[in-house]
Amino acid sequence: MSTVHELAVCHVGAKHGSAVGFVESYDAGVLVARVHSPLTDQHIGDAVQTIVLDPVRGECRYTGLIGGITDEQVTIVVQELVEQNQRRSAARAEYQAACIAVRDRDEDGGAIRLSVVDVSASGIRFASPAVLDVGDTVRFSLPVDAGAVDLRARVLRIEDAPWGWRYGCELLGLDNRTREALFRLVLRLQREQARARADRRALAV
């Protein structure tokens, strides 16, 4: 039986550090997070804040106390849901990047031009003049900070765009390092975009 937030990417932040991973379970006020690297210098009873990027429920922020901790797992006794943005887009961030992709079913390996629109830790949306079908999969490298991550995306939705089509995709076969890189990218972009909106409001006053 699935639980709330199961397999959703999460970020556990504490006074002396943080860790990225995914939700193993969340039931009866206890959230169990599987982390990709140890949450060091923390002890049972320490306060933590957990951000969950759920593709269905959006971004959820919890405060709580550590109820158990190992190198690979953190158990959190949730005290409060501080904030929840129920829009699916809450777990996404606008991101502009040009990429060259290859469609898996193309035997000749022809290149496809993509223009990324937004990204999440589990999905991506891009525009392209190429005609893709629902279920098609493409491979490409996405620029992230000073490097890039290799992604494989499967088309779930198709919309008209000013030049070609816009495709909503799920990301397939993400390893821990790639998932963590995407999560950190989304958080950084959300902070930058929130700061830019606040600056615009200040200038409009």
Digit-coded pLDDT (tens) for 173-188: 888 788 878 888 887 8
Q: What's the rounded mean pLDDT across residues 139-149?
A: 91
- With respect to residue 3, please indicate whether it lies within any of the assigned structural domains: no
pLDDT tens-digit profile of 45-88? Answer: 999 999 888 777 778 889 999 999 999 999 999 999 987 765 55
- With respect to residue 46, please indicate whether it lies within any of the assigned structural domains: yes
| pLDDT band at residue 28 using 50, 70 and 90 as cut-offs | confident
Question: What whole-number distance in Å separates Cα of residue 22 and Cα of residue 9?
Answer: 4
CA dihedral defined by 139, 143, 147, 153, rounded to 10 degrees?
-30
Claim to verify: residue 113 and residue 148 sit in the same structural domain: yes
Domain range for residue 141?
92-195
| Pairing of β 93-103 and β 111-119 | antiparallel
Domain boundary among 25, 59, 89: 89
Claim to verify: residue 105 and residue 154 sit in the same structural domain: yes
Task: Tell me the two tokens of residue 56.
Answer: 């269905």
Claim to verify: residue 105 and residue 14 sit in the same structural domain: no
Per-residue pLDDT, 91:
66
- With respect to residue 202, please indicate whether it lies within any of the assigned structural domains: no
Q: What domain count does the chain have?
A: 2
> Smallest Cα–Cα separation from 64: which of 53, 72, 55, 51?
51
Is the predicted pLDDT of residue 1 greater than 70, yes or no? Answer: no
Per-residue pLDDT, 67:
94
Q: How many CB atoms lie within 10 A of CB 10?
A: 28
Task: Tell me the two tokens of residue 44.
Answer: 């049972």
